[in-house]
């Protein structure tokens, strides 16, 4: 895929990435502040990510997630009061993202025996 079209305009893919970069850049300072105050109040916990992609294992260190909702208590309420709706939105979207990730893991675990059985069946048929 070309980055630029013949007329010099960015391709649709390049324009999409540029818009994503603009959003990232515009939210960077606010995200840094939110991360700092969450860490100061010990509301972040380490979350090493380990993925298996095909035969290759991938590990990503240095990631954090918000502490479990029951451990957040009044500290999080105070931060929402201090930083307002954008902070509450961040927390909500973070929780939804983890919920969706858990659903993907659960679905993978449910279908893993089926895939193993299908692979074994295919190997027997070959």
pLDDT tens-digit map of 57-84: 888 898 899 998 888 888 989 999 999 9
Considering only residues 23 and 120, tell me which one the structure prediction assigns the higher pLDDT: 23
Listed in sequence order, the residues at least 6 apart from 51 whose beta carbon sits closer than 8 Å to its beta carbon are: 57, 58, 59, 60
Of all residues in the chain, the percent with pLDDT exceeding 70 is 89
Listed in sequence order, the residues at least 6 apart from 13 whose beta carbon sits closer than 8 Å to its beta carbon are: 1
Structural domain boundaries in the chain: 41-125
pTM for the structure as a whole: 0.65
User: Partners of 59 in the beta sheet?
Assistant: 50
Backbone angles phi, psi at 75, to 5 degrees: -60, -45
How many residues are present in the chain? 126
Which pLDDT does position 115 carry in this prediction?
60
Across all residues in the chain, what is the average pLDDT?
85
What's the pLDDT tens digit per position in 25-58? 988 999 899 999 999 999 999 988 888 777 888 8
> What's the rounded Cα separation, in Å, for the pair 15 and 38?
33
> What's the rounded Cα separation, in Å, for the pair 85 and 35?
16
């Amino acid at each position: 895929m070309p980055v630029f079209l013949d007329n010099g305009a960015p391709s649709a893919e390049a324009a999409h990435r540029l818009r994503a970069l603009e959003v990232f850049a515009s939210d960077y300072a606010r995200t840094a502040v939110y991360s700092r105050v969450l860490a100061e109040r010990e509301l972040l916990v380490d979350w090493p990510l380990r993925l298996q992609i095909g035969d290759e294992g991938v590990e990503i260190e240095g990631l954090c997630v918000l502490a479990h909702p029951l451990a957040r208590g009044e500290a999080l309420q105070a931060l929402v009061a201090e930083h307002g709706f954008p902070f509450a939105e961040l927390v909500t979207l973070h929780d939804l993202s983890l919920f969706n990730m858990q659903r993907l893991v659960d679905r993978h675990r449910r279908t893993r025996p089926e895939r193993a059985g299908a692979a074994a069946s295919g190997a027997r048929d070959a």
